[in-house]
Every structure is written in C-alpha cells, then in structure tokens.
Amino acid sequence: MHGSEPMGASVLIVNSEGECLLHLRDNIEGIWSPGTWSVIGGDPEAGESPEDTIARELMEEAGLRLEVERLAVLDVTDPAGKPPKVVVFWARWDGDAHALPLSEGVMLHWFPAATIPRLVTAPGTTEIIARYRDFRAGS
C-alpha cells in the first residue's frame, strides 16, 4: 500500500435495537490497546483493499460474513504515537454475540449506547460510534 492510503480497517456492528457489538481485547503486552473494548478490525495483508481486510478480520475474529458499508476514514493514534489511517465500516447484525466462534480477545458483547461511555475503550472507538450516530441522523 502507498503511504497515503488507509492502513487499517474496522467495523462497527449494530443490531436492530441500536446496540453496538464490541470486542474485549486480550490484556497482554505487545498488542495494540490491550484490555480495552473495541470494534473488530485490523491491518491489511499484502495487496488487500480495506474491504478485503475487514471481510477477512470479521471471518478470522468472529466467524462472520456481513455486508458492510463505508462510514469514514479516521486517524487513530497507536501506542507508538503515529496516527494510522483506518477505514471504518458499519454493518447490521442481530445475532447472539456469545455464540460466535471468537478466535482473538476475551469476548464479544452487545452494549447499549448509554453504557459505552462507562467502558475503557480502545483509541477511536467512541469516535467511530459518534460518526455512526451522525451518519444515521443524517439519513
């Protein structure tokens, strides 16, 4: 990928009740934002588009195949201090979060919007949710 292209992809999954599906990251050294709640996402493999990246991450992390829609491109500062660009998508899904075959992290859980500010979230998570609310308010 070229330096000006987005370097990661994330997806906010929302159910018909307006709850957000968040992923509790492992609390281990050496990973990005350990022990926080975040959206599903990750970095691209060689030659992947953001759409390819998020489809792979959804399958790898949660066993999901979802239709996604682009929401925004954000700068999210990582622990090393550099702000990578992340393409943010959103998707609708009404399944049982605890029944998913989680392969990374501790758990997936649905949260009502009012609860999310009380959580310790990864950098950019609350901004992603705010962007989604703005998007939905404008549609």
Read off the pLDDT of residues 116-134 as tens digits, 9 standing for 90 and up. 999 999 988 999 999 999 8
The answer, yes or no, to whether residue 136 has pLDDT greater than 90, is no
pLDDT band for 79, please (50, 70, 90 cuts).
Answer: low
pLDDT band for 1, please (50, 70, 90 cuts).
Answer: very low
Rounded CA separation 137/61 (Å): 30
Q: What are phi and psi of 60, to 5 degrees?
A: -65, -45
The answer, yes or no, to whether residue 20 has pLDDT greater than 60, is yes
How much is the average pLDDT of 84-88?
87
CATH 3.30.420.40 matches 8-138:
no
Rounded CA separation 139/136 (Å): 5
Residue found under tokens 């998707």: 91
For 90, the 3-state DSSP assignment is strand
Residue boundaries of the structural domains of the chain: 8-138
Write down the pTM of the prediction.
0.89
